[in-house]
Structure formats: C-alpha cells, structure tokens
Amino acid sequence: MFHSGSQAILVSVRESEPKSGDDFALPDSLASLRERVVSIFRSKFGTSPEAVVAAPGRVNLIGEHTDYNDGFVFPAAIDRRVVVAAAVSPDASKVWTEGSARPAVFDTNTEREAYGWARFPSGCAWTLRRDGRDIGNVNAAVVSDLPSGAGVSSSAAMELAFLTLWNHLDGLGLEPTHLAKLGQSVEHEFIGVQCGIMDQLASALGREGHAMLLDTRSLLATHVPIPKGLEIVLCDTNKRRALGVTAYNERRAECEAAAKSLGVGSLRDATMEMLDGTVPHLGAVIKRRARHVISENERCLRFAQALSDSEEGAIGTLMRASHESLRDDYEVSCPELDWMAESAWSASGCVGARMTGAGFGGACVALVKSDMVNGFLEDAEKGFKEASSGLEPRFLVCRAVAGAGVC
C-alpha cells in the first residue's frame, strides 16, 4: 500500500526473478571498460590497481521531478557505467580520466576548493570525512561509456563509484542506501544542484533485469521485473542538456512555494482536490508545477501495476501523459525532446516513450517490443531527422543491471 497525498493506492507488484529473453541481446560493456581502466591505471602509476569498482547510470521510466517532492520515481540502472581503478596513495590523491593531460589532485584530509569534474571525487572524499569516516588518499583512473548530458545520471554514477571505492578500500561497511545519501550531499554541497535522491539510489540499488519503484520519502525500493519481450531504448537527441543549476533550483523553489500555499510539508501530501480548491495566492505558474507533481506521483504508482501486469496499453498511455505534463505543466521539455517523443510514439514496436531526466535537452526513453527493435530504431531516427531538419540522434538499447559494486 502506497500513499500519494491523502489517497491510498494499492499496488500489487511482483518482486520475482527477472525473466530471461534472448530476442534482442547486447553484450555487456563492463568487461571492456574494466580492461581499459586497468590499462590506464598501469600506464599512469606503473603498478596494478588494488580495486576496480563500477557504478551504473540510469534511465527513469516514469516519475520525473517528483523525487525532491518526497514522491515516487521508477528508474532502472543500465549497462552504461563509470568504472574506477584505484590503489591507496602515500600522499595526495591523483585521479586520471581517459585522455586527460593531467590528473585532478586533492587531499582527503584538507578541505579546499576543487574545480570542474574534480568536484565529484574530492566532494565524495570530503563528504565521507564529514560523515565521520576515516579514509585515505587514492591513486585512481576513471573511464565511462555513459553519454554526458543525456539525462542518464553520469554525475550520480561518478559519485557512487568513488563512494563505493572508499567504502571498499577502507572497509567502511556502509550500506548502499547510505552511500546514495552521501552522493546526494555531494550534489547539494559541492556541485550546487539541490537534486532529489533518485539518481543516487538507482545507481546504488539496481537489480539485474528489473526497474524499481522508489518511494523517495521512505527510501523503500520495490524491484519490478521488466516484462519479457520489452527492451529499454535510450533515444538521445544529442542536444546537450541546458537545464543548469539556476533552472533546476527554480523549479524546486516553485514546488516549495506550492506546498506552502497548499498547507502541506511537500507536494507528496497534496491532492488534485486541494489544488482545485480556492487558494487565492496560488498563481497560474505555481499551480501548473504542482499539478504536474501530483499527477506524476499517481502515474508512477499506476505504472508500477501496469508494468507488473504487462499491460502494454496502460504503459504507453501513462508514459505519454508524463511527457505531456512535463512539456505543458512543468515546462522542462524542448523542441528536440518533443520531436523525439513524437517520433518514438509513431515508430514500429513502441509500447511507450517519454523524455527522461531533468529536461531542456538530453534524451527520451522508450519501451520497445524486442522483435521490433530494429524497425523502431529506423522509424524513430527517420522521424526525428525530418522534424529537426537533420539533427543526428543517437540510440542505445540498454539492459537493466545491478547497482554499484566491486568488479
């Protein structure tokens, strides 16, 4: 039993072993990523790493901009990852990325300002220290096959990779949910994005062959098998996400204003009946923002049931309604995302599609019939190119995989 606002919705989902399906299989890239990162580590440090860890990105099937409103989300960890090879360092930490001219250098014992991508590993170290954990410096190399800016949480994967690394090397014994909370703290305190916890939890708690219904208030994760015969397809517009700190935090402030006006602690506790009531100082924009969050929470719960029951019609209807709400009420879509969603809706084998991620660029996610994936890819690419006057999209067929860990 899950509660959305004052309404209780019974969701009877199956938590079973994933169903195997060989209709459309892609090789897992983890082995090649591991080989690459170990090679880089050896070339930079002249020795073998003591540990290799991997953390996946995620796609969110439904439930967008609800996590920082204590709501429901429905992500799946995917087989695109950040992989880190590392060993204990006798002095300052040095972290190389593939192709970098010089390493990021920081000391886990001294809090000082870091810049660019170095804020992620250094932020993880300092956050662990502030959590009372005794950690050492590391030499590390990083590789990734996550598309940056496509809304698949490459930043959360970087955070979970380094948090998992220190958890392993220093024997901290921290549970995945605790690591996810620390990753969210990195975003808040070092990156400057007041994000919810969905991305970090998805990277930490993924399960092979499953998506997960996450209650971001209780942090309860219910894993739901992805039905046999459906594939996850990431439809990247190749328009780099331009949401940025300002627009993201603006949406969050609007939601907080809506909750205050409605007299609730968060929009998780609001209902459509409350929103449709008389609240003189609730402006039109704030009302639209609240309407998206309230309706998206309801869609997320109903999607869990539809996925569990393999109800393809309901899956498609809910995903389309989610996209339209994000476009019209929350106003975080853009022409490229709309073109991609519309192209996917009319493509062969599409069960459902919507924008995924924070918005203003990035990607859509589609659930596609396994035996029609090739036709879907051809149709969606053609439709998008025609609508966008020749922009080049990218499509990734993804598997749902396990969360962050030592590999």
First-last CA distance in the chain:
36
Tokens of 356: 């995924």
DSSP class of 268: G
Pick the catalytic residue: 67, 70, 199, 215? 199
Name the residue with tokens 């939890």.
201
DSSP class of 118: G
For residue 329, indicate whether it is catalytic: no
> Apex CA 27: angle with CA 25 and CA 29, to 5°?
145
Cβ atoms 162, 114 nearer than 8 A: no
- Distance separating alpha carbons of residues 380 and 164, to the nearest angstrom: 37
DSSP string for 161-227: HHHHHHHHHTT----HHHHHHHHHHHIIIII-----SHHHHHHHH--TTEEEEEETTTTEEEEEEPP
Amino acid at 74: F
Handedness of CA 138, 140, 145, 147 (dihedral sign): positive
Cβ atoms 271, 294 nearer than 8 A: yes
Name the residue with tokens 């890239």.
29
Catalytic (active-site) positions = 199
